[in-house]
Structure 1
């Protein structure tokens, strides 16, 4: 009698198993680093109080005088960025490239005194952000995080299907706390997964928008501004995403794939003694740029990024806690003309939804309540990941890997197959890895299983 082919419920089991083993360490890491970065405002104030906080004064020192103080203190350095004080009791900040190090230099805006410096890439928040985004190993780390997030989506979808209530609520909607051992761990895993599935999907999808491969393609498709917005200015080949790094967010996500304008024309550059690719030689002052930000009502918390070449621009940008206050302005370094001024109202529907998702992801959208909700989600992720590993460890046969066996007596689920195919197409790295895992499962693990079975039967 011909045995029926393994059905989708079987495959869901195995995909959930493989995805869980691969994803669990990443989920633990993402949850822990996410919690650290989530409470950045509170932790920064606590850890760097003497650098960040100053007594409110009556008269501020002009931005250019502060700039001169920093240049005098770091004569060999390049000044990359200026962050004016967020409020009357906060210091001003300069980002300085000095001898291979990137420093955050804090300055008293009322007296011009340099309060101290901080390694921009090695402080707690920057390290947490860099691990969270790319494991501190660049592009390879970014792709691994993207793969883990994509498989996390597979994990959620297959998990919800596997644990969908089929006539009983205990162990699905609430844990059977009277149980012990593997049953209790299984209930904790199922219940946290069931209630947390929607939240985890939001976190995974909003996080995916920052990834280097999928996120870039996603932005290319959905994050489109009218070409006319860039018609009245010379455009460079450089995209605004170049201003963002693993440790520092400068421009909003919606602006990442927009072109950077160029300052002046070639004749002007020659008049200022610089060639097209020469160093920046701005003729407007830093205070002029700050005044533009104030006049145009840019939300406090913005940064001013300096031009690096003769054709570069000053960029005023705020990646606001409330994305409706986002702003990105490019300013000609010679004339002070605002070449581009892009706000929330210029974003498309998908860009608005994405920006909102990112702010919810970072716990910034509605203050402490948002932070508490994301903290609870992170704790659910930790519990789900740990309980999943414990279940596997307790269930696996002694000395074996414990891959779920292929059963043949469970119902088919065509919708499930369709969903997995959609996920494979929507997330190409996941699709490619699904094929690899399927082949490994067929070739290696099936052979290993046959060998162990024949060995046990012959003994």
Structure 2
């Protein structure tokens, strides 16, 4: 509170001091978040760009293998048998129809050695290539991008980086907000500046221009993560299987995943319908047997033209599943996402889920994943490439600014000094708590750092000299 006998000049100076202290505190948190986030952001940007361009140029799992078109393709069952002949002890799991007449069909065969892919010429049933499924360069980048090649631990580490990225973004916006310059000047680079001032200006200008896109990437990425996504958001936004009215199995759509995420986000935690009842809408006509070929014909009849995926039943209550979604590059339009389940015994349609049936968050994620992964077309890949390069620049420029600011010849991390008599600290604590509750992995990390500081760093002079 300002004393009554203070002059206007003193009041103004006091307010400026408070603002400066809060600025340095925000800068300090921005710095500490960046220490963890920078290597992850560079990794995510590089692997993300590579994944987009690999998928666009070469495709995934042989999906762009060229063939010579002929009068008509052979029956799917004939193609499938050729694929099975390449793996005599294997089990047919999935058929992926070619998106164009001059492309090969794909068959997933599960073997004792793992999931395999047979690339088949649909006109001759020749097996053109076989290889372990999800074993290409794209998948190496994908596994690095999502879990650092170390499974659940890697997923949590990446989620921490993305969660802290939100804090980095919030504090960065506060640091950027123009206090003396006009807003227009703060949005344009000042190329007349030199040294650290130039790096700071470019860092802040690039940061503000990509801030909305960065927030989009962080939220859409976190929605796939194991804690914030799977436990917090996805569980409350999944499609309610009860709406079908069909008997339900005890397995979720996620059971169709084979390592990487393949099932639409809104359905991954939804229970699958079960075969073996009289329920269902008309699918196959009476007397028509349920076979691979009649299922393909039914899929075409109900609107699955060009590329679509057919998953075969697993177990006695398993179902045939037809699907098309942009996440799996079946199409470039996320609004056309569709999943249909068919009873393996009667050929009746048990469920037909389309984009418009998703929850609001499910719809947002269907579009968001297509934009995040760059599967909505070349224009998205180009836009995302510019964003990824900008993100790398932010990381590099942040390191350069620290390097230019650090004490010469010192091995200290040298974070910005914490101001004394911090004003508005209660508001800062409340904001920190809100962000921690909203993003649990960020909160857990902040708590761990505070405990480490209190129990270890503050009590070991050598550590304090290096880290503080």
- TM-score range normalised by the length of the shorter chain: 0.7 to 0.9
Task: Find the partner of 1:208 among 219, 222, 228.
Answer: 222
1:420-459 mapped onto 2 (5 Å cutoff): 420-447=432-459
Q: In the TM superposition, what is the alpha-carbon distance from 1:402 to its structure 2 partner?
A: 1.0
- Of 162-171 and 64-73, more deviation after overlay is shown by 162-171
1:309-458 mapped onto 2 (5 Å cutoff): 309-320=315-326, 321-365=332-376, 367-397=377-407, 398-408=410-420, 412=424, 417-447=429-459
- Of 444-453 and 341-350, more deviation after overlay is shown by 444-453
1:237 paired with 2:247, answer no
- Of 315-324 and 150-159, more deviation after overlay is shown by 315-324
Partner of residue 12, structure 2? none
User: Structure 2 vs 1, CA of residues 300 and 211 (structure 1 numbering), >3 Å: closer, same or farther?
Assistant: farther
TM-score norm. by structure 2 comes to 0.84
The 8 Å contact of residues 55 and 138 in structure 2, kept in 1 or not, is answered as: no
Partner of residue 6, structure 2? none
The 8 Å contact of residues 89 and 111 in structure 2, kept in 1 or not, is answered as: yes
The 8 Å contact of residues 225 and 348 in structure 1, kept in 2 or not, is answered as: no
User: Structure 2 vs 1, CA of residues 76 and 136 (structure 1 numbering), >3 Å: closer, same or farther?
Assistant: same
The 8 Å contact of residues 61 and 134 in structure 2, kept in 1 or not, is answered as: no
The 8 Å contact of residues 324 and 339 in structure 2, kept in 1 or not, is answered as: yes
Q: In the TM superposition, what is the alpha-carbon distance from 1:221 to its structure 2 partner?
A: 1.5
Q: In the TM superposition, what is the alpha-carbon distance from 1:414 to its structure 2 partner?
A: 6.7
Partner of residue 27, structure 1? 41
Q: In the TM superposition, what is the alpha-carbon distance from 1:304 to its structure 2 partner?
A: 1.0
Q: In the TM superposition, what is the alpha-carbon distance from 1:173 to its structure 2 partner?
A: 2.2
Partner of residue 290, structure 1? 296
SS at 1:330's partner residue? strand
The 8 Å contact of residues 56 and 89 in structure 1, kept in 2 or not, is answered as: yes
SS at 1:80's partner residue? strand
SS at 1:264's partner residue? coil
Task: Find the partner of 1:93 among 106, 118, 123.
Answer: 106
User: Structure 2 vs 1, CA of residues 362 and 147 (structure 1 numbering), >3 Å: closer, same or farther?
Assistant: same
**Mapped partners of 1:329, 1:194: distance in 2:** 43
**Mapped partners of 1:157, 1:179: distance in 2:** 25
The 8 Å contact of residues 94 and 309 in structure 2, kept in 1 or not, is answered as: yes
**Mapped partners of 1:28, 1:448: distance in 2:** 32
SS at 2:397's partner residue? helix
1:60 paired with 2:73, answer yes
**Mapped partners of 1:71, 1:168: distance in 2:** 69
Q: In the TM superposition, what is the alpha-carbon distance from 1:396 to its structure 2 partner?
A: 2.4
Question: How many residues are treated as equivalent by the alignment?
Answer: 429
Q: In the TM superposition, what is the alpha-carbon distance from 1:186 to its structure 2 partner?
A: 2.2
TM-score norm. by structure 1 comes to 0.86
Deviation string for 1:127-150 (max 9, x for gaps)? 111111112221111111111111
Deviation string for 1:149-202 (max 9, x for gaps)? 111111111111112111225984233333343333222222221211111000
